[in-house]
Amino acid sequence: MRNESDIFNRVMPRDHIAIAGFFENRLTGSRVIIGNTHLFWDHVYRDVKVIQVAILMEQLAKFAEGWVNYPPLKDKKMFRYSERDVDGIESVVDSGPEPAPSQEYASALQIPLILCGDFNSLAGSGVVDLISTGSLPHDHEDLSTFKYGNFTRDGITHPFSLKSAYTPKDLPFTNYTPTFTDMIDYIWYSTTTLQVTSLLGQIDKDYLKRAPGFPDWHFVSDHLVLLAEFMMKPRKNAVIGSGGSGVSSIKSNQQESHGQGFGSERAGSRNTSQP
């Protein structure tokens, strides 16, 4: 693919990036991969967006293979703080239960994955089809006649089982302007390891009748905020340091940790509703 002129002329000039982080819940020991990206916006460059996602998924798979062997955390002490009583005597406040040991995973696909951001792609596009189904044929219309090495020779695949936390019923649009209103932002999650428990709801319909588009005084972006909460599904034959159930909850918006960045612009996640 590196020798293809379309890579240099169409994909490489776009300076978009993605960020991926590997996180651990200190209390439960469960771990999760969270990725964030912003794809190119122009509809004329649908092929570029597909290739950006192809590279993103390829890199996430490689990162997951490395993180599956990430050693257990040794310093698991929860944060403790002190407070003064009426006499000015300082005392340490109990921080709660002892943290569980770090969970271990037998394969990369056992690690929960959340991928969020502005994908600038509609339902039925090559980008959404690739992420949601795990594959895209080499002759997909979004790739047109451009040449991208094995991606356009053999088709594109990724190993993850992903689903959008939001459906059109939960949120009919994530981008709201006077000339364009539709869903182009997503929070994708691995269906084998995570379950959606709640979503941030829709904007009041009466307010929308008075607002022809965003941004305005109350909404600082033309994109809505996305927020999803997940529960870790119980694991079968879980490999755990020395105990723990493998069940915990996650709030997905943005988080930080052992991160890696790779070429594909800004990172962020956006909107959500009660399922």
Domain of 166, CATH number, reads 3.60.10.10
Calpha distance 220→150 (Å, rounded): 41
Residue 86 lies in a domain: no
- Give the pLDDT score at 144: 96
Instruction: Check: CB of residue 138 under 8 Å from CB of residue 152.
Output: yes
Is 174 inside any structural domain? Answer: yes
Rounded to an integer, the average pLDDT of 29-57 is 97
Taking the CA of residue 12 as centre, how many other CA atoms within 13 Å lie in the half-sphere pointing to its CB? Answer: 10
Kindly state whether residue 88 falls inside one of the protein's structural domains: no
Residue 152 clears pLDDT 50, i.e. is over it: yes
Decide: 186 and 173 in contact? Cβ < 8 Å.
no
Indicate whether 265 pLDDT > 50.
no
Query: Residue 146 corresponds to which tokens in the numbers above?
Result: 């451009």
The residue ranges of DSSP E strands in the chain, in sequence order, are 17-24, 31-38, 82-84, 90-92, 103-104, 113-118, 135-136, 156-157, 162-164, 175-176, 181-182, 185-190, 194-199, 228-232, 239-240, 249-252, 258-263
Residue 268 in any domain: the answer is: no
Is residue 187 in some structural domain?
A: yes
Q: Is residue 275 part of a domain?
A: no
* Domain, as residue range, for 140: 5-71+99-263
Dig out the tokens for 158 from the structure. Answer: 């990724």
Q: Residue 141, exposed/middle/buried by CB under 10 A (0-12, 13-18, 19+)?
A: exposed
- Please give the model's pTM, rounded to 2 decimal places: 0.83
Q: How many domains does the chain have?
A: 1
Please give the mean pLDDT across all residues of the chain: 86
Q: What are the tokens at 75?
A: 């310093």
Tell the burial category of 126 from Cβ atoms under 10 Å away from its Cβ (0-12, 13-18, 19+). buried
Higher pLDDT, 82 or 182: 182
In a domain, 47, yes or no: yes
Least confident of 66-70, 75-79, 216-220: 75-79
